[in-house]
Amino acid sequence: MPRFQQPCFYYWHYRRRQRSSISLLQQTSSTEKDTDQEDATTTEPKDTFDDDDDEDEEEDYTERDAMLMEPPKPTKKTSKLEERTRRFFQEVPFSSKATGNSTLIAESDDHNAVEIPEQQHKGAIDEYLKEAQSLATIWSYKQSHKGALMVERIIRRVIQSQDEEDGGGIETLAQQSSIKVAHVYTCAIRGWTFSGDRGSAERAEEILDTMQQCYMEGGIQGIKPGIEAFNMVLLAYARSGLRDAPQQALRVLQKLHDWYTTGATDIAPNKKSYAAVLRAFANTGKPDAPERVMTLLEHMERLAEEEGYTSVRPDFMCHGAYFSALHDAMERDHITGEEAATIGETYLFKLMASPHEDIQPDTWCFNLVLGSWSKSYTKDMVERADAIMEIFEAYHEQSGQSEKTRPSTLSYNFLLSTYSRSKLKDKGARSLAVLRRMQELARSGENPGAKPDAVTFNTVMTAFGKSRQPNAPYYVEDLLREMHEEYVKTRDPRIRPTSRTYNNCVNAWAQSTLPGSAARIMEWIVHMQSNAEREGRRYLGPNKWTFNAFLQSLSKSGEPTIGEDAEEVLNQMMEYYRKGWTELKPDVLTFTTAIHCIAVSGKPDALERSLAIVRRMEDFHEQGFGDVRPNCYTYNCVINAAAKSRRPGKAQIALQLLRRMQEVALRPPTVTYNNVLNACAFAHHRDDVPDDILDIAKEVFEEAKVTCEPNYITYGAYVRVISKFVRDGTKKKDLACDVYRQCCEAGQLTNHVMKQLRYALTARQYAELLEDAVADEKTGQFHERYTENARRTKLSFQQTSHGHGRR
């Protein structure tokens, strides 16, 4: 008799990497069987039909085994599947002993012996296995630990029933039934493959090995694993997240190949087998993942073309793994968005030109290329994305409008995302045109799958908000009203406005220069709060991003009370957070923007209030409050407040803040040194000592040349300090001319620097410098080499102020 008799499903051993003593079907003596059954009856099984699928990993293994052996206990609330499974466990499928070749003895409802003909007995076995297979199939698709465990319990029940019949085990059952027992075991493999548990791949492989060994020792076709079982194990490793998942998948693939070449099985690897291995490589997240996927694809093509293994010719699913690997490499910054988009686009065109119909790209492949272009941040990203979409739509028409090649809502959303992230001035209008086209395609029935959803509307709103058009906030508000009306009309949850939708309105007003923007944002905040309270969905209410946008708009409003208003908002957010409103917890951006509002308010006590908030942030950080540690922007705002104040000693305070940044391991950027120099340049209190201010400015300027790259603002501010605090004419000229030469060498000469030099020098001295600086007397343009870096600096400022830049 083969050594496999009874399953022992200690899955939790696998979670602890204790696999050596475990197998799916384990040879047991009658004494061991009795012991197992006795343990099962004396141990209180855990209710497996509880709605809570979470299992305690520290639970005793004996109780786990008992849970597998005992029928499930009733619960207060069970589904039809659970009731059906319970009845299956409670049934007495066939008799415990055979009496000759013609009849079998079964147990009736009144526990009296009844003779059953052999043919009828075989039919009862088939019906019982059909029910087992049906239940196992349903549970295997539950994609949970509970589902996989239930399939193994069903298998154990089937084996126990046969042992009670004649002690023949699974081999006898496979011989007597016309139903393949392998199907039930394959369900167990599928269950573990999609369970998402750690160790599920190893468990699936062990079940496969058990099936194969049982088939090789007994020669029973009914237990022989099919190609689906092998492919499921390969897929289990691809989904496992293990670091060596590709190597493990390759090992299983090699094992299948060895069994096929040695005659141990007639099952050969097919394209799905290789597709699982390709997926394992694509899911690694390693920099060489695309290269490894491409190498295996080329190997598959050689096998098909040169050696005649057409069953492993890559199809579109196999090639899709390459697109996935490229996209993942881009998301992990292993390659740039431009590289991923360019390579993906080239490969897409290669597949489209292939004569093999089964490798023609589908919607998913086009979407990955569009998604890559949306994150490429190149100058031609919009043109390239538009071209891909045009090819996509034409390709769909050429393919007979197949569902597999139909542009989807996600396809157009990627195109809209490209517009939103571009530098187009008319990005809002172009995004709106795409939205209207999507609506027309869905309304006419030409492409129902292109119906706009909440993401579509949100992306168009974002594009308008970034466009800096004067009327952009009104467009965004109109879109929100349209979105809300559509939801009220259709009750489609995909079009329901979200908190991001309302925040898009708020952000559009925050980016706007229209008067009354801050007041309009406050109206939206009140509206969001009332909506959240009315619908009982707090997440629709304002969050910290909403108030951050309000503070940003407030800082540009020019209102005389912006400092007080900012502090009031900050205090209210803290109060609500302490009451449990975690979504209103202020972050470093909230505090920093509040400081900026105070700094630009022009109030005499702005510096003191800014310093108080910084100390508050530092205290919160030490207490573990969260993301509130002051950063470079925070200190820059305070130094800016110092530069704008009228109090004595503000140059020393600015220098102390600079040193504080360095103490907390923050590297001051150029703008920080510029703010300190401005504090020196605008020091005008009668108690300030000119020589002390000049020393501070010189120290800061020399340090800036070493630690960062001074720009034209740095040189202009230092010249202003020289002009204001150096009394000796000769010394002033020497210092100013020296700064001029350094500025020209750095390529940072601008009209701003020359203006400050004009104030520092006499008319004759300035004329000499101007003659040296000007390259063309007619146009008054400076030498190219004197200004080349200044132009780049100004362009960088413009991009930053408009919210652009690479990711």
- Whole-structure pTM over 0.75, yes or no? no
Residue 558: the pLDDT is 86
Contact 682, 688 (CB under 8 A): no
Instruction: List beta partners, residue 104.
Output: 98, 116
Find the mean pLDDT for residues 592-597: 96
CA distance 496 to 611: 44
Cβ-Cβ contacts under 8 Å for 378 (sequence gap 6 or more): 337, 338, 384
Q: What stretches of 90-208 adopt beta strand conformation (E)?
A: 97-99, 103-107, 113-117
Phi-psi group of 43: left, alpha or beta (phi > 0 → left; psi -120 to 50 → alpha; rest → beta):
beta
Label residue 356 by pLDDT band (50, 70, 90). confident
Give Rg (Cα) of the chain: 37
For residue 347, what are the contacts with CB-CB under 8 A and spacing of at least 6? 319, 322, 323
The confidence band for 177, taking pLDDT boundaries of 50, 70 and 90, is: low
Residue 572 CA to residue 566 CA, distance in Å, equals 10
3-state helix, strand, coil in the chain (%, to 5): 70, 5, 30
Work out the average pLDDT over 8-33. 34
- Average per-residue pLDDT in the chain? 84
User: pLDDT digits over 92-127, tens only?
Assistant: 655 444 333 333 334 444 444 444 455 555 567 778
Question: Who has greater pLDDT, 508 or 6?
Answer: 508
Confidence at 132, pLDDT banded by 50, 70, 90:
confident
pLDDT of residue 687: 85
Instruction: Write the pLDDT tens digit of every residue in 381-439.
Output: 999 999 999 999 999 998 887 888 999 999 999 999 999 999 999 999 999 999 999 99
Phi, then psi, of 269 in degrees rounded to 5: -60, 145
Which tens digit of pLDDT belongs to each residue from 493-538? 999 999 999 999 999 999 998 889 999 999 999 999 898 888 888 8
Q: Assess contact for 662 and 640: CB atoms under 8 A.
A: no
Structure confidence at residue 349 (pLDDT): 94
Question: What backbone torsions phi and psi does residue 640 show, to the nearest 5 degrees?
Answer: -65, -40
Rounded to whole angstroms, the Cα distance separating 368 from 272 reads 21
Contact indicator for 281, 292 with CB cutoff of 8 Å: yes
CB-CB contact of 636 with 675 (8 Å)? yes
Asked if 300 and 252 touch (Cβ cutoff 8 Å), the reply is no
User: Cβ distance 6 to 33 under 8 Å?
Assistant: yes
pLDDT the model gives residue 122 = 59
Question: By the 8 A CB rule, do 653 and 642 touch?
Answer: yes
> Three-state SS for 347?
helix
Q: Note the pLDDT tens digit of each residue in 233-267.
A: 999 999 999 999 999 999 999 999 999 999 999 99
The 8-class DSSP code of residue 357 comes to: G
Burial grade of 674 (CB within 10 A; 0-12, 13-18, 19 or more):
buried
pLDDT for position 307: 86
Cα–Cα distance for residue pair 473/416, rounded to 1 Å: 18
Alpha carbon of 203 to those of 133, 206, 237, 713: distances in Å?
20, 5, 11, 66
Instruction: Tell me what percent of the residues of the chain surpass a pLDDT of 70.
Output: 83
At 240 the pLDDT is 93
Predicted local confidence at residue 472, as pLDDT: 94
pLDDT of amino acid 734: 95
Tokens of 512: 């706007």
Residue 708 has pLDDT above 80, yes or no: yes
Which residues make Cβ contacts (< 8 Å) with residue 146, sequence separation at least 6? Answer: 48, 53
- The count of other CB atoms within 10 Å of the CB of residue 306 is 8
What pLDDT sits at residue 776?
78
Q: What pLDDT, on a 0 to 100 scale, did the predictor assign at position 163?
A: 60
Is the model's pLDDT at 807 over the cut of 90?
no
Distance, CA of 9 to chain centre: 36
Cβ–Cβ under 8 Å, residues 276 and 314:
no
CA distance 674 to 642: 12
